[in-house]
Amino acid sequence: MSVTLAQLDDPALIGQVDPAGFHRLLRALPSSAREAWRLGLEWPLPSSIRTPRKVLFAGVGGSAIGGDVVATLAGVASEIPVQVVRQYEPPPVDEHTLVIASSFSGNTEETLAAYEASRGAMRLVLTTGGELARRAERDGLPVFTYTWDGPPRTGLGFGVFATLAILSRLGVFHLPPHEADATIDALETYTAQWVPEAPANEAKRIGRALDGRATLVIAPGALEVAARRWAGEIAENAKQWALSAGLPEFDHNLLEAAGMTAVPGLRVVLLDSPVAHERNRLRVRETARLLRDAGTPVEVVALPGRTMLETIMLGCALGSWSSYYLALLRGVDPYPIPVMDGLKARLSEG
């Protein structure tokens, strides 16, 4: 099925390709973020948890991206390190370590293994229920539960803002309430600009540019987390190849090949923003020039946002909407993930 850019404004087409209404979950990011921030501020902090010396966020896939954002922010604004663990085994922990085990379903095998392997640390669980919640209740550990009627990757608001609220209250870093509120307000403003009924919007334009090509998304500094989100969303929602990389590291190895020859069928997206380091912004411009000289199509996307949190969240949201329109253009339903579900089924038999 081939779809034109103009057809992206057609509700009938959207209903045909997206029968489950995946776009409604993208629209709900601002409201879910606001709810998560409120719940995180109101959640009773257990006496067993105190200000940690380090934080490990155990999760994979859509349950980990919130930890990625929080770890990125902590990396530029906290003396307490926050590390995302996407493995069965966490690094060594002690009584001064806080382990946040995050699994949307509560049944993710990697997260369950990491939870069990981190005994001796302070632990809390972030989930909608499942086996992880049952084990935490068995062990007498705190469980932050929430409700979300969508797949894990669309629950970004809870993964980011509930975690931010809890860690801010624990003194891991200080996030002023007005900054969180301003970020959520900005999400509401820009979401209204990217929805299907907004004609010829930026997300639709980007989706069109990415159609039919594998995509490498590159971002400078702390914005690399947004590039990672873009790649994941393009792959899951549009079922199209995508990878991510960061600056300046890309310029210290991969650029040598990329600046020599173009890879057939590849397009590069470079994310840019005033919140990035000025030298990294120069790298965005020069890297784009070198790639274009080598024959690679390059799309430089200027992300909106006034603070690092706001820019990252708006960048993630723009990536999600762009991948949604890419899915429509490709004629593929963005909701199901049959290949990944098939793998999980096979692994459960082994």
Residue 210: its pLDDT value, please?
Answer: 96
- In our burial notation (b when 16+ CB lie closer than 10 A, e otherwise), range 85-96 reads bbeeebeebeee
Q: Tell me the average pLDDT of the chain.
A: 96
Q: pLDDT digits over 115-125, tens only? A: 999 999 999 99
CA–CA separation, 216 and 231 (whole Å): 7
CATH topology of domain 25-175: Rossmann fold (3.40.50)
Q: Where are the domains of the chain?
A: 6-17+200-330, 25-175
CA distance linking residue 111 with residue 103, whole number of Å:
7
User: Cβ neighbours of residue 215 under 8 Å, at least 6 residues apart?
Assistant: 230, 231, 234, 240, 241, 242, 243, 266, 267, 268, 269
User: Do 56 and 100 meet the contact criterion of CB atoms below 8 Å apart?
Assistant: yes
Q: What is the pLDDT of residue 2?
A: 63
Q: Do 6-17+200-330 and 25-175 have matching folds?
A: yes
**What is the biggest distance separating any 2 CA atoms in the chain, rounded to whole angstroms?**
60
d(CA 245, CA 291): 14
pLDDT at 1: 59
d(CA 3, CA 332): 10
**Closest Cα to residue 122, out of 178, 166, 183, 66?**
166
- pLDDT tens, the chain, 350 aa long: 567 777 888 899 899 999 999 999 999 999 999 999 999 999 999 999 999 999 999 999 999 999 999 999 999 999 999 999 999 999 999 999 999 999 999 999 999 999 999 999 999 999 999 999 999 999 999 999 999 999 999 999 999 999 999 999 999 988 888 999 999 999 999 999 999 999 989 999 999 999 999 999 999 999 999 999 999 999 999 999 999 999 999 999 999 999 999 999 999 999 999 999 999 999 999 999 999 999 999 999 999 999 999 999 999 999 999 999 999 999 999 999 999 999 999 998 87
pLDDT for 5: 74
Q: How far apart are CA 290 and CA 104, in angstroms?
A: 41
Residues belonging to the chain: 350
Contact (Cβ atoms closer than 8 angstroms) between residue 272 and residue 300 = yes
Strand pairing category for 242-247 and 214-220: parallel
Contact 310, 339 (CB under 8 A): no
Considering the segment(s) 6-17+200-330 as one domain, its CATH architecture is: 3-Layer(aba) Sandwich (3.40)
Q: What is the pLDDT of residues 31-84, one digit of tens each?
A: 999 999 999 999 999 999 999 999 999 999 999 999 999 999 999 999 999 999
Lateral strand order in the sheet of 82-85: 82-85, 54-58, 97-103, 122-127, 143-145
Residue 26: predicted pLDDT: 98
Q: How does DSSP assign 215-283, residue by residue?
A: EEEEEEGGGHHHHHHHHHHHHHHH---EEEEEETGGGGTHHHHHTT-PPTTEEEEEEE-TTS-HHHHHH
Specify the DSSP element, H or E, that contains 343.
helix 338-349
Q: Write down the pTM of the prediction.
A: 0.97
